[in-house]
Structures are given as C-alpha cells and as structure tokens.
Chains A and B, each alone.
Chain A
Amino acid sequence: MRTISYGQAINEALAEEMDRDGDVILYGLDVAAWGGIFNITKGLLERFGPERVFDSPISESVMVGAGVGAAIMGLRPVVELQYADFILVAGDEIFLKAGMWRYMHGGAFKVPLVVRLPSGATGAGPEHSTCPEAYVMHSPGLLCAVPSTAADAKALLKEAIRLDNPVMFFEHRRLYQKRDEVPEGDVTLPFGKGVIRREGRHVTVVAWQYMLSRALKAAELLEQEGIEVEIFDPRTLSPFDSGTLIESVKKTGACLVVEEGYRRLGVGAEIGAILMEQAFGYLDRPFRRLAIPDVPMASVKPLVDRVLPSVEAICDVCRELAA
C-alpha cells in the first residue's frame, strides 16, 4: 500500500470532502494563498477557489462563531485555528455556542462544524504548545477526535466533516511528517471506536497521538524483559470507547494512561474514574497516570523534555504494574 504523511492525509481528506460536497468551506489564518503555517491546506485554494477557501482575520471568536452560524444555515465549515491552545481564545464560541446552540434551541439546529486544532509540545511556549483536549472532553455537545496515524487522520476527518455535530479535531504537530500506509479512496472511521495497537497480557496502556509513539517504543523495550504491554488508542475522546478499554483491562488487570495534557483533571483522570466505576473488580493494581505535571509548557527543549512523559517513565510504571 502507498504511504503518505499525516499532513498529506489531512490535505487529502479536505480535498476529497470539498470535492464531494459543495457546502464544505474552509478558512483560517494563512490557509488560503499560503496553504497554512503547517502546509496542510496547500493547493486547496487553487483547486476550490476563493469562495470556499479563504483567509480570516486574527479574530478567533468570529472564526469559530461564524463557523457555528454557517453550520446552522447549512454549510459545513472547516475552521483551522492556528494552535489548539486558541480554543481558549474562542471559548464562548466553542463551548457555549458550538456545543450548545442545538441543545438550548431544543434541537432545532444541526451544527456540522469542524475545528482543526494543531496541538502538541514543540517548544513554542506556554500558549502554543499544549494538548488541551481535556477541556473539550469535559464539555457536553462537542465531539473530540485525536487521530494518531495518517490513515486515521484521513478517515476520521472525512467522518468529522460528514457528521452533523461539532467536532474538535486535534492534529498533533509532531505527527505531521510521519508517514503511514493510507488506503486510497473513500474510507471513514466511526467516532467512539478505539483500536488495540498492540496486544499484550500484563498492562494496558492508553495513549494517543505523540504519546502513542512513545508508548509503542516502551512496549518494544519491555518485550525484551518479558513484559507484554497492550496498547489502546481511543481515536476519539468524545465519545470515548470505554467498552474496548474495559475488555483490555479485564485481561491485563492494570492500566496506565499516558497523555500530553495537564495531569490535574486531565483525560487520564476521567479514564481512571471510568475504570473505578465500571471495572474496579478487574483491576489488580492501582490505576496510574503519566501526564504533564501541573506547570505550563515551557519554551526551551530541556524544560519541555523534562515534563513530557518519557519512554523511560512509561517503562518504569509498566514494570511496577507488571511486577
């Protein structure tokens, strides 16, 4: 099968969906002539024209708010926020408008909006480096996708654009260049269905995006020590596939969540609570988390590396859990 990068896969998904449906429009900062600061929307202006692919002012509130307005009137806007951190700049529009416009108006509207959110620690400092998906997972009305491979990025984005609900689509910037096998043609993936990336008997590790690559590395190292790690990639956090996770925990009896968001009330905290409530009897060991300790993300590499969960840290916790 052909391999393409995660970034190209997103570009293909956008192009195919714009081709398929004339109501799909795309805008954001620098997305038109320049093709996006991460080069993801390259060629789309040339192909679909300035009516459907356009730059917006540096006005994140209206970027997302207009997305809600366009969506309730029948368009399918795809909005690129330059950095995922900026969901907090457009907080009212994301959490109280996109998430709630349908609900508070008694179901009269559909909100088929996708907000693309480049995330992840790349040394760009406290306001341009975070993985803020916990805020989204916390908030009713929003769907949350966290694709980890090029194939998943393409299939989940195509699905997101077709869904009639608002989707916060996190794209991890350290993955943009990563190449994977991606099938040609019209492949979508359902939201709420995770995947076991690696099978094992001793410990279940939940990880996605950049932390998934670290978890996979840790699993390879641990294999040499006879520790078999099972790795669960949830693919979407809202909805969250607790069923597949619980089946895995039934087998392993231990669970570690590795995430690139803040630890306190993070995604891992929620997953831990799900396991306490629904799978307590299957856990032989205390539930564990590795996350960003509760400090902002710094700018320079040594400080960033200090707070990102490392392969070694993942190995250490897995050893404890498998002991």
Chain B
Amino acid sequence: MIQNDRLRDIFAKALLARSFEARLIKLTAEGFLPPLLHPGAGQEVAQIAALSALKRDDPVLYSHRGVAYMIARGTSLSAMIADMAGRAGGTNNGKGGIMHVVDLPNGIYGESGTLGGGLVVSVGMGMALRRRDPGRVVVHFFGDGASNRGTFHEALNWAAVQKLPCIYICENNGWAVSVPTSVSTAVENIADRAAGYGIPGVVVDGADPDAVMAAVANAARRARAGEGPSLIEIKATRLLGHYAADPQDYRADAASVAQRDPLAALRRRVIELGLLDEAEIEAMTAAHEAEIDLAVEAVKAAPPLDADQAFTDLYA
C-alpha cells in the first residue's frame, strides 16, 4: 500500500493537473491557445503514480496524453502555457508547442510526435544510461494505438536482448482517436505481448495508484539491477475527446464515462482515509487556481516569440 503522505501527494498533483488542463481547454476555447492539446483527464492518477515510483533524474519520454507527466516532475506551468501560446518563457522556443515540452533538470526528455518514435529512441537512452550512468532508468509512456507500430516490436526486442534499463508503460484507454482497440489489436492485453520478448508484462488498473506504483517500482528495481526492461499496461480511462473539441460521436459511453473517473475515486479514498477533508480539498483547489492564474498572467504579459526563432536551434 502506498504510504499516506505519498498518496496525498499523488492526489494533489492529479488535482492540479486536472485544473491546469481545464484551464488550457478554456484558454483554447477563448482563442488564446491553439487547439493542440490531447486532454489527459482520467489518466492523470496513473501517470503520476507511475512517476512517483521513480527518481527525478530517471528520464521520461512521455505520451501526448495530457500534462500530468510534467506536473508530476514539477515543470513550470507558465513555461508549458508559453510553449502552447508561442510566448517567450517556454521550453522549446516555439518549435514544439505542447507536444515537445522539455525540462531536463526534472528529467522530462520530450516526445516523438510520430507515435511509436519514442519507443526506439528510449532504447538508445537506456544504452547510454547503462554505459555512462548505471542505476538510472528510462521510462517511456505510449498509447495502445502506438503499440501497433512496428517500432514497438523492434524496441522491446532489442531492449530485452540487451537487458536495458527501460520501463515501457502502455496507457491503454481503449481508443486511438475514434478507433476502438478491439478493431485494431488482436490481443486483449497489450502486456501479453511481453512474452514474445521474454520480459515481464503486467496489467494494472489505472484507477488503482497502489497497483500502478507497485508495478513501476518492481520494473525499476529489475532495471536498476541489470535484469532488463518490463512492459506495464495501464487500463486507462479517457474521459474527454481525443482533442478537447472532439465531438466524440463515435463513442457510446461519452456521457457515462465520467462515472469511472479515477481522480474522483482517489478523492473519495483520501477523504475516507482521513488524509484530507472536503474543506481542505476546496482550499487546495483554490490554491491551484491561484497558481494557474499567476502562470497565465505571466504568459499574457510575456512578449510573443521573435519569428526569427524559426531559424534557431537546428544545428548545435
């Protein structure tokens, strides 16, 4: 079982991620931000629980599904808004928007915009860590859709052969845009494929932070001990559309899915455990909103990026 202070911390970060993302969606609707966010609502608890099992200097290649990975590591909110808004003060000088937030001191190593591209990159990161910095592990998050790229096979096979310190976390939310996993994927569990690489494959419930953390902690222990990679499949819930304004008319459960919100379940649990009461959660939410207000104000006050930034950062 996760210790109480850790559980409280996971809840607080997930709550912040939810509020922050809601604000990004609002700012998008208002026209201040471009419509490029893939909301992570419903997947934050598992994402944050997974990263709670690792160290800050364990590099992360994240998935496009939301912002909770960065919140877990403490990336500046205003920097992320600036990346979306094209203002000064972001992390990638207008080159990568919200898809390529980078924050090396916090172990945020970016993302491949082509799905499955991160799988192969992470293999080399594992090779380098083992050679230069043994004891660190690289974690890569990706969706069930991305797991159907050929790179999944190439990466997991070679990482397994080399026994690299890599953790592969597949967030299976049942959808790749409008395509249900049942239509695209022959196996019930993505984790079953681990057998094909001779590595452990486990399935965990994305609404169960204890299970997620335990699985990642176990994978990290193995990786740090030189026993190689693991595949963890999180059965996840995508509460919103593929993108914020997605009408989701392909989805029968669009209205009812909110009942399966892992953050709501965690909220009930922290209250039951006596870690927080309603009033404290209200206060926490208000503090988050104030923090987000400050970040938004800072970005609105920042100058737009110099368009000549288009020409920088290409060659070292």
Contact = CB atoms under 8 A, between A and B. Distances in A.
A75 B131 contact: yes
Given A65-B121, A164-B316, A108 B151 contact: no
Contacts of A97: 112, 114, 117, 120-121
Given A61-B151, A66-B158, A96-B117, A71 B124 contact: yes
Contact of A70 (B128, B154, B312): B128
Interface residues of A, number: 41
A107 B110 CA distance: 12
A61 B154 contact: yes
A75 B91 CA distance: 24
A180 B210 CA distance: 66
A105 B316 contact: no
Interface residues of B, number: 45
A68 B150 CA distance: 17
Contacts of A103: 95, 313-314
Interface in B103-118: 104, 109-110, 112-114, 117
Contacts of B313: 102-103, 106-107
A73 interface: yes
Nearest to B312: A107
B193 to A, nearest CB: 16
User: Which of A51, A96, A105 has most chain B Cβ within 10 Å?
Assistant: A105
Contacts of B131: 25, 51, 75
A108 B124 contact: no
A62 B151 contact: yes
A110 interface: yes
A106 B93 contact: yes
B100 to A, nearest CB: 5
A111 B92 contact: no
B157 A57 contact: yes
A252 interface: no
User: Which of B93, B120, B312 has most chain A Cβ within 10 Å?
Assistant: B120
B125 A62 contact: no
User: Which of A62, A67, A75 has most chain B Cβ within 10 Å?
Assistant: A62
Interface in B71-120: 90-96, 99-100, 102, 104, 109-110, 112-114, 117, 119-120
A19 B133 CA distance: 20
B196 to A, nearest CB: 13
A66 B121 contact: yes
Contacts of B127: 25, 66, 69-70, 75
Contacts of A70: 124-125, 127-128
B124 A77 contact: yes
B113 A65 contact: no
Interface string A205-241: 0000000000000000000000000000000000000
Contact of A104 (B92, B104, B119, B312): B92
Nearest to B157: A57
A73 B314 contact: no
A74 B316 contact: no
Contacts of B90: 106
Nearest to A55: B161
A56 B316 contact: no
B122 interface: yes
B120 A73 contact: no
A62 B123 CA distance: 7
A93 interface: yes
B154 A59 contact: yes
B156 to A, nearest CB: 9
Contacts of A74: 128, 132
A69 B124 contact: yes
A141 interface: yes
User: Which of A61, A66, A111, A165 has most chain B Cβ within 10 Å?
Assistant: A66
A24 to B, nearest CB: 11
A56 B315 CA distance: 28
Given A62-B155, A106-B313, A109-B102, 13 more contacts: A59-B154, A62-B123, A66-B120, A66-B127, A66-B158, A75-B124, A93-B117, A104-B100, A104-B110, A105-B95, A107-B312, A109-B110, A165-B315
